[in-house]
Amino acid sequence: STMARLQLSAVAACAVLLALAAPSLAGDPDMLQDVCVADLKSCESSCGLNGFPCKADITADDFFFAGLKKAGNTNNPAGSNVTAANVQSFPGVNTLGVSMARIDYAPGGQNPPHTHPRATEIIFVLEGVLEVGFITTANKLFTKTITVGDVFVFPRGLVHFQQNRGHGPASVIAGFNSQLQGTQAIATTLFAAAPPVPSDVLAKAFRVGTEDIDAVKAKFK
């Protein structure tokens, strides 16, 4: 019947629209103009946009970032430092769906287990030897020892880590398919949230006493 054909056409149209939209679900939304350099000053207090508004007056410097040249300071408990080239420090990538970072590791340092809710990450080793890995939602660990010139990829949203296994410093360049990948470090999220996650909740989750949880929390203050 005519009505059945119309219904079938509507279903087919929806399927096509979903298929066309699917690639955009893998990262940031598609850009609607050539460039949109982030106007960070307009969002210093708050910004009601999913992203940043465009700056009116732009120059070539808005599309340039020199912050990845030098190693970061790894003198901290993790023994690592992440230098980000995302929209917050590199406004030219606004709406482009890409960003980078440099990660430096002291001997024995690590980039602790964490996730990027908005991006897949791919790393290229500049220096050193690293053990890297990610854990799937089925709790399967995929790990590899990588060295200079090697590349490894961490799927979007999965818990992953990097540990320096060499005798000297190590460093990588990371790429993301988002202008602002977001980073949620597992230990910091659980033990240093504000306001804090109740200790009895964590004690039950980790099957330990609340005094053990409180002791760990104290290390993150």
CA dist., res. 146 & res. 154, Å (int) = 14
Q: Do 97 and 176 meet the contact criterion of CB atoms below 8 Å apart?
A: no
**Helix or strand or coil: residue 74?**
coil
Q: Do 80 and 111 meet the contact criterion of CB atoms below 8 Å apart?
A: yes
DSSP state of 53: P
Residues in the chain: 221
On whether 114 is known to bind a ligand per the annotation, the reply is yes
Quick one: which of 76, 60, 83 has its CA closest to 174?
83
DSSP state of 54: B
On whether 127 is known to bind a ligand per the annotation, the reply is no
On whether 76 is known to bind a ligand per the annotation, the reply is no
Residue positions in the annotated binding site?
111, 114, 116, 121, 160
Residue positions in the annotated binding site for Mn(2+)?
114, 116, 121, 160
Residue positions in the annotated binding site for oxalate?
111, 116, 121
